[in-house]
Amino acid sequence: MIKDITIGQYVPGDSFIHKLDPRTKILISVLFIASLFIINKFVGYILIVAFIAAAIINSKISPSFYFKGLRPVITLIVITALLNVFMIKGTSDTLIWGWKFLNIYEEGIQVAVFMTLRLIFLIIGTSILTLTTSPIELTDALERLLKPLKVVGISSHEIAMMMTIALRFIPTLIDETDKIMKAQKARGADFDGGNIFSKAKSLIPLLVPLFISSFRRADELANAMEARCYRGGNGRTRMKQLKYESRDAVAFFIIAVLIAFSFYVRFKF
């Protein structure tokens, strides 16, 4: 399960999506998420599926790698679906099953399926951004996009750096967690057996060394940055300059079509 987490991982490549300006990919991801919340009918997800399928094919990354990232959040998706099934109230004509205070209505099932699809599309769509964009590119793009915040005295470079370091540490902490779990299992620790309370108690031998390792890595990173005379974004140069190209215009046109279709489905369909 630990190895299935793909958040923060980057897969190098030379696909159309890899070559897009990172600012373009961030803005498209934001607009894609917005389209998911604009659409309120199942028919609207037809173009969403087509958009995600085209992006996965163009990224030249195995589709199984994207769907593997869904495994760690399956429990969250199932809980969300069940809450919608039992919490959404319909009319007596749409009651499908009832027992005491538990009732399942047709509207509840529709909302549950709709929210499940939305969560799946949200996870896969955002995974495309991190899998096709290196941490350095993400840092530069976020810094450039957040540059207007300097007007109110907020450093865009520091915010971008913190977000990227946090994202970059996810795969590192996942590997560290996996190593600690194997070491603890070799010493007789049981992370799978027992009830929920015993499972929570068994996590203590895992969390303590993980926190210690995290602080140690953070301290090593701070020392490494100081040794390289890191003083923030002032005077910093970049090996690769960001610039928009014709393929970015094509990508913006595609997402504009998706947004227009989303509004059409919501207000006109």
How far, in Å, CA of 84 to CA of 115, rounded? Answer: 8
Residue spans per domain, the chain? 2-154+242-267, 156-232
The β-bridge partners of 98 are: 103
How far, in Å, CA of 113 to CA of 117, rounded? Answer: 6
Residue 105 phi, psi dihedral angles, 5° rounding? -110, 160
Return per-residue pLDDT of the chain as tens, 269 residues: 555 566 667 888 889 999 999 999 999 999 999 999 999 888 888 899 999 999 999 998 888 888 877 877 888 888 888 888 888 887 766 777 777 777 788 888 888 899 899 999 998 888 888 889 888 888 888 888 888 877 777 777 778 778 777 777 777 777 888 888 888 778 777 766 666 667 667 777 778 888 888 888 888 888 888 887 777 666 666 667 788 889 999 999 999 999 999 999 888 76
Q: By the 8 A CB rule, do 11 and 81 touch?
A: no
How far, in Å, CA of 206 to CA of 255, rounded? Answer: 43
Model-level pTM?
Answer: 0.78
Burial 134-150 (b: 16+ CB within 10 A, else e): bbebbbbbbbbbbeeee
